[in-house]
Structure 1
Amino acid sequence: MGDADYLKRINAARVYDVAIETPLMAAPQLSSRIGNSIFLKREDMQPVHSFKLRGAYNKIANLSAEEKARGVICASAGNHAQGVALSGRHLGIRAVIVMPRTTPAIKVRAVAGFGGEVVLHGDGYDEAAAHASELMARDGLVYIHPFDDPDVIAGQGTIGMEMVRQHPGDIHAVFVCVGGGGMLAGISAYLKSVRPGIRVIGVEPEDAASMGAALAAGEQVTLPEVGLFADGVAVKRVGDETFRVCQRHVDAMMTVSIDELCAATRDIYEDTRALTEPAGALAVAGAKKYAQETGIRDEHLIAVTSGANVNFDRLSYIAERAELGEHREALLAVTIPERPGSFLKFCHIVGDRPISEFNYRYADDSEAQVFCGIKLANGTAERDALIADLRDADYDVLDMSRNEMAKLHVRHMVGGRARGVGTEVLYRVQFPERPGALLKFLQSMGDRWNISLFHYRNHGHAHGLVLLGMQVSDADRQACRAALDAIGYEYAEETDNPVYQRFLKAP
């Protein structure tokens, strides 16, 4: 399909029967901080709190009368499900939504509330999608793809149409979150047809960068795994049509970390009092990073806040990581002599900086290991200066601000070292958040190795993040890793992590 065809489809897209023209809002606080004028395209304000309604409705509205009579079906645990459900209700047609059994109840209720016929099946998306295919064949339903369809792409492209109408002046760049690529394809196709000088930049999480990988390779790429924190964009392989369009029109792709994503979520909240979902903050995180890396000043940037269907139990995790993402907190491990006055000396060096966390437990009479979080006013420069001051005072300092094991687990575990553990090995393991996951793990590992440490916190992820210690002899290391490989859960060894060595390993 050519550029003229997409321009025609976007101009004629039937989205406003159910969707609204969302506002383009200035973000004054964030703009002041990054030295550029940033505007938020508020797709989180749609009736289903996501842009997905545009594409879903445009696709369903363009079905033939015979197809509408048959009804539609999709497999989704998120925003696409709500868009299909509301579209079906508005058009008076049957809309079957297959969702994994592990879908949070709030999302199931939302889909049912929008008129969707909810079918719960399987423990993950792949099983739900397979069941949706069976029901589609059995009942003659029409499948509504979440992104790889010209009518879906055209529906999302109306966002770009609204942008240029709402901001007729110069626009340096538009930032768009990317999962399967439907919104990026639609917006880029429209903007490059009417305002080709605007840079269109796609933004992905570091652990789910499927479009960036495909564009870099010049062909479709299937990622072996994707991170699920930004579940709205957790796509292993982008669509064929979305890839083709993006390859033609997208100027650049970039990635951001989870911490940068959490910081952007807070930035949006501070300017709008709206709480976006992780995927909904991707474009803002990308715009901030782009401004910092390129050094541009006084330019106009637009970022799409794509959705606000966030799980409430994830908010504490987002808040915790936002400080690190904005470099407003340093996590440090400091070795302090175990003698009177050493803690006071440490506090003098920290000065009047707020201490967000301080964990310490007596270990022996020679030295103490302190795990501390310190608030920063001037980001990485202040952190580096503080570390230099501490080292000049002969303190041994380890910067843990980028250490995932420290951030996810050890900050909640500091308090003592186990004696008599012997040859302990340490792993970070992602357990599926479903009944029986731990039992499956223990049964598969058998009773060959004793579990010496186990730490789990619910972060609102689709996976449980577990820190696991086992007593494994040197001769059994390879066999242990083979057993972990056979289970199929993603894992990483952390035995040599310096945070483990300081705070958890037996003396």
Structure 2
Amino acid sequence: MSQLQAEYIKRILSARVYDVSIESRLHAAPLLSRRLSNTVLLKREDEQQVFSFKCRGAFNRIYKLLQENPVSGVVAASAGNHAQGVALAARELGIQAVIVMPQTTPGIKVEAVRAFGAEAILHGDDFDTALAHALALGEERGFPFIHPFDDPDTIAGQGTVGVELCRQHPEPMDVVFVPVGGGGLAAGISVYLKYLRPEVRIVGVEPIDAASMHDSLKADQRVVLPQVGLFADGVAVKQVGAHCFEVCRQYLDEVILVSVDEMSAAIKDIFNETRTLTEPAGALAVAGMKRYVKERKVSGQTLIAVTSGANINFDRLRHVAERVEVGESREALLAVTIPERPGSFLAFCQALGKRAITEFNYRYADSGTAHVFAGVELPGGSDERDALVQGLTDKGYPVLDMSHNDTAKLHLRHMIGGPARVPSERLYRFAFPERPGALLRFLSAMGQSWNITLFHYRNHGAAYGRVLVGMSVPEGDEAKLDEFIAKLGFTGHEETDNEAYSLFLR
């Protein structure tokens, strides 16, 4: 055992954390286990009082500080979870806490900090800017700074997660996946597990756009990222801690990088197992575990992922839900060119077969061709997407696969369409029971009597599907169309006089 490891083992075994923390559960994940052909366990740090592991390191650091040098208050900088840990620890220890948080911090975390009685100050757009301001405030008020990750006592507090893992699972474990931001949790867990269970592989997981530990280990020195993505705000750190890097370079086996889509899919996986909504950083370990299994083709192993936090703003779920299916390779987003004539839309749907349609966007452009933005469910994953694209191409449809096009996924899917010079266009809104094949049956019932000039459909997981349809109705066909709509069997409402339609699409 090295002197560094011996020092940290002593600190971890003497850490004071359970005044504010619980021994979190090691939760079996049978759905993931079956899907990945491995035994998957989740270390549920999202169950802590502050909904993340951060209360461990924060309390241990402040408690040890007060034993050596009693103070009336502390100052900290955090993207949110460490802030709650410091606020809770300060309240329990009877001192003041001043927390500087980036302005991008989710409101749920800011309110939680204030609920613990701390002073929350929003400053800057990222952690590093907030850190600089917190250090200045500490000097001004005479309060010591409590670093979110780069302190031996903080690392030791987080290392108690590793102690619990060894106690809770004395049987063999092959790989433990740990989210990495500044590196405190990864350092604490890896240094302890490599002491007691050296055969266990420790894998850190970071977002592709916040790969500070990955890049530092590759360079064999700490690097500063020019910028970091904010989707996983809990790990949006430009530079890992010096103490954390010193430990991780010796005891962390590797770091895997994952995308926004993979994190979103992992949030859904954890929800399906636990009925808990983790934040993106909290789902990192599961996302990394899934990538590891896919790339290494491992099976029959015991894999443990630390679900590190559940502080997510409710309104962010809209974005997460949009990205989930693509992250699981269970949805293809395709741009397809079809002929502009009656019946071509129906023919295209028939070419898709019995696959579930998740989204259709179409607006008439000219008399020759039309472009369709389609979301198609893929139970068979990425292999099925390739087969679908090839099948449509073989049928003569020009196809552009946009499944990994961020601009299309974030923006263009919502911007398709615009005013069109369509003679005698009428607009209808329909609802029909949402079940497999329902959209195709709807289009089949529409027949080929009128040319579809506008179509929008999105499956939101509700009991009823909702469709907006525009049709070019020749003069004299109005009564015939009204009769057809009445007999169609779907709940429909005419929207031809809708103000929004007149303003934006007519």
Amino acid at match of 1:7: I
- Cα deviation 1:306-349 (Å, max 9, x = unaligned): 00000111001101100100011100000101123322221112
- Cα deviation 1:10-65 (Å, max 9, x = unaligned): 11110011100000001101111011011000000000000011111110010144
Match of 2:57 among 55, 58, 62: 55
- How far apart, in 1, do the equivalents of 2:305 and 2:293 lie? 12
- How far apart, in 2, do the equivalents of 1:334 and 1:244 lie? 52
- Cα deviation 1:170-215 (Å, max 9, x = unaligned): 1110000000100000000000000000000000001100100010
Amino acid at match of 2:81: N
Query: After superposition, where does 1:41-440 map in structure 2 within 5 Å?
Result: 41-65=43-67, 67-101=69-103, 103-122=105-124, 124-416=126-418
Say if 1:55 and 1:154, in contact at 8 Å, map to a contact too. Answer: yes
Shift of 1:100: 3.9
- How far apart, in 2, do the equivalents of 1:136 and 1:182 lie? 22
Q: Tell me the residue number matched to 2:483.
A: none
- Cα deviation 1:401-444 (Å, max 9, x = unaligned): 0001100000000004899xxxxxxxxxxxxxxxxxxxxxxxxx
Shift of 1:98: 2.0
Q: Between Structure 1 and Structure 2, how many residues are aligned?
A: 419
- Cα deviation 1:217-238 (Å, max 9, x = unaligned): 1111111111110010011111
Any gaps of 5 or more consecutive residues in structure 1? 420-507
SS at match of 1:169: coil
Shift of 1:71: 1.8
- How far apart, in 2, do the equivalents of 1:396 and 1:254 lie? 36
SS at match of 1:207: helix
Going from structure 1 to structure 2, the CA distance change for 1:87 and 1:370 (only over 3 Å counts) comes to same
Amino acid at match of 1:69: V
Q: Tell me the residue number matched to 1:29.
A: 31
Q: Tell me the residue number matched to 1:476.
A: none
Shift of 1:134: 2.1
Say if 2:279 and 2:312, in contact at 8 Å, map to a contact too. Answer: yes
**Greater radius of gyration (CA):** 2
- How far apart, in 2, do the equivalents of 1:164 and 1:206 lie? 30
- The alignment yields a C-alpha RMSD, in angstroms, of 1.6
Shift of 1:76: 1.9
- How far apart, in 2, do the equivalents of 1:124 and 1:200 lie? 28
Say if 2:179 and 2:284, in contact at 8 Å, map to a contact too. Answer: yes
- How far apart, in 2, do the equivalents of 1:238 and 1:272 lie? 31
- How far apart, in 1, do the equivalents of 2:264 and 2:329 lie? 12
Q: Report the TM-score, using the length of structure 2 for normalisation.
A: 0.80
Q: Tell me the residue number matched to 2:468.
A: none
- How far apart, in 2, do the equivalents of 1:101 and 1:184 lie? 26
Q: Tell me the residue number matched to 1:429.
A: none
Say if 2:9 and 2:192, in contact at 8 Å, map to a contact too. Answer: yes
Any gaps of 5 or more consecutive residues in structure 2? 422-506
Amino acid at match of 1:45: E
Say if 1:70 and 1:142, in contact at 8 Å, map to a contact too. Answer: no
SS at match of 1:63: helix
Amino acid at match of 2:149: F
- How far apart, in 1, do the equivalents of 2:123 and 2:59 lie? 24
Match of 2:10 among 8, 32, 49: 8
- How far apart, in 2, do the equivalents of 1:271 and 1:122 lie? 36
Shift of 1:115: 2.2
Shift of 1:124: 4.7
Going from structure 1 to structure 2, the CA distance change for 1:53 and 1:329 (only over 3 Å counts) comes to same
Shift of 1:95: 1.4
Say if 2:45 and 2:308, in contact at 8 Å, map to a contact too. Answer: yes
- How far apart, in 2, do the equivalents of 1:271 and 1:102 lie? 29
- Cα deviation 1:112-154 (Å, max 9, x = unaligned): 1112122344555444333322221122111000111100001
- Cα deviation 1:284-313 (Å, max 9, x = unaligned): 001111111111111100000000000111
Shift of 1:376: 1.1
Say if 2:107 and 2:313, in contact at 8 Å, map to a contact too. Answer: no
Shift of 1:108: 2.2
Say if 1:39 and 1:303, in contact at 8 Å, map to a contact too. Answer: yes
- How far apart, in 1, do the equivalents of 2:334 and 2:104 lie? 37
Say if 2:127 and 2:236, in contact at 8 Å, map to a contact too. Answer: no
- How far apart, in 1, do the equivalents of 2:381 and 2:419 lie? 32
Amino acid at match of 2:310: A
- How far apart, in 1, do the equivalents of 2:308 and 2:182 lie? 14
Say if 1:175 and 1:303, in contact at 8 Å, map to a contact too. Answer: yes
Shift of 1:92: 0.9
Q: Report the TM-score, using the length of structure 1 for normalisation.
A: 0.80
Amino acid at match of 2:272: E
Percent identical: 62
- How far apart, in 1, do the equivalents of 2:420 and 2:363 lie? 13
